[in-house]
Amino acid sequence: MEGSHPSTAPEGLTATLVRYTDGPDQLTIHPSEADDVTLMGSWVTADADDFVELDSVR
């Protein structure tokens, strides 16, 4: 893993990009102001290339 880099996300959400040297980069999106208990069930992670800008698919 190369490191974690914040990314852009819709208002109220945080996106964190983690770059890997031995596999695809991973992007996790979660509520910005959530406590630890809420975060355990309120996130999604996928390969960074699987996410697209919402405006590009409307």
User: In which band, very low, low, confident or very high, does the pLDDT at 41 lie, cut at 50, 70 and 90?
Assistant: very high
Structural contact between residues 47 and 24, judged by C-beta atoms closer than 8 angstroms = yes
What pLDDT is attached to residue 50? 92
Higher-scoring residue by pLDDT: 17, 54: 17
State yes or no: pLDDT of 55 exceeds 90. Answer: no
DSSP conformation class of 57: G
Confidence of residue 12 (pLDDT cuts 50, 70, 90): confident
**pLDDT tens readout for residues 15-37:** 889 999 999 999 999 999 889 99
